[in-house]
Amino acid sequence: MKKIYPKLPLIFTVIIFGFLLYFLTQDKNPSNPPSALLNKQMPKFESNDLIDENYQISGEKFYGKKIIINFFASWCSPCKVEHPLLIEIANNHSDVLMIGVNHKDKKDDAMNFLESGNPYDQIALDKDGKIAMEFGVYGLPETFIINEKGIIVFAYVGPITNKIYEKKIKRLLSN
């Protein structure tokens, strides 16, 4: 009994280390809570196109196609960071539709933002943030992948990185 006390600190250290190590290797990202919409039907939305304002974008039109929905805004700096990668993804997967949702932004600013390159096939306007609300957007940028049946198969908060593209997105887009 006497001998157990000096051992306790070491035992606790090992236990805490074990948990933290396990947690780290799980590659979990606390800023990226699992979306409640994952594996559920994509919410319906309708909006005008940013570039051609007469063109009506509607979520239902995309059924049967694989799409990426990316929420962005010109005022969001992480969006700038992920922008080049989005362009690369758009080039690599020309068969996938990439829909941008321009969130609470001004048209001129958004157009300036896209001057360096436009990865999106269509851009929905979300001036009042309603679409973002429907999708349960947590913070900008946020990206969803939706399969042919209109089911959300992937959701990611924050700028997409090469690692995430290679590990998850690439597979989802190719098959």
Partner 1 sequence: MLYTGQILILIAILNNFLNVFLFFFLKKNSNFIKQIFITSSRLNALLILLAFLFLIFLYVSSDFRNLNVFFNSHSDKPLIYKISGVWGNHEGSLLLWILIMSVYNFVFSLNKSLDENLKNMTIFFQTIMTTSFILFMLLTSNPFIINFSNPNEGLGLNPVLQDPALAIHPPLLYIGYVGFSLVLSLAVSGMLTNKINTAWIKTTKQYSIFCWAMLTLGITVGSYWAYYELGWGGWWFWDPVENVSLMPWLTGLALIHSLQIINNNSYIKNWVIFLSILCFSLSLLGTFIVRSGVLMSVHAFASDSHRGMFILIIFFLITGFSFLVFLIKPDNTQRNPQSLVFNKYSTLIINNIVMTVACFTILLGTIYPIILESINNQRITVGAPYFNSTVIPIVLPGLLLMAIAPALSWKKNRINDFKYYLYIFFALLIICIVIYFLSNYNPWGIIGIAVGLWVLFPSIIQLIKIIVKKDIAKNKIPGLTSHIGMGILILGVTISSVWQKETINNLKIGEEILLENYSIKLKNVKEEVKNNYIRMMGNFKIFENNVEIGEIYSEKRYYPVSQTVTTEAGIMHKFDKDIYIVIGENISDNEWLIKIYFNPFVSFIWLGALITVLGGIISLRKI
Q: Which residues bind partner 1 (CB under 8 A)?
A: 6-7, 9-10, 13-14, 16-17, 19-31, 33-34, 75-77
Q: Report residue 99 as tokens.
A: 């829909």
Q: How far is the CB of 51 from partner 1 (least distance, A)?
A: 23
Cβ atoms 141, 155 nearer than 8 A: no
| Ordered DSSP codes for 98-119 | EEEEEES--HHHHHHHGGG---
Closest to partner 1 by CB, 31 vs 162, is 31
Closest to partner 1 by CB, 32 vs 147, is 32
Closest to partner 1 by CB, 33 vs 117, is 33
Closest to partner 1 by CB, 75 vs 93, is 75
Beta strands at 67-72 and 56-58: parallel, antiparallel or unpaired: unpaired
Neighbouring residues of 42: CB distance < 8 A, sequence distance ≥ 6? 59, 69, 144, 146, 150, 151, 152
Q: How far is the CB of 8 from partner 1 (least distance, A)?
A: 9
Q: How far is the CB of 134 from partner 1 (least distance, A)?
A: 22
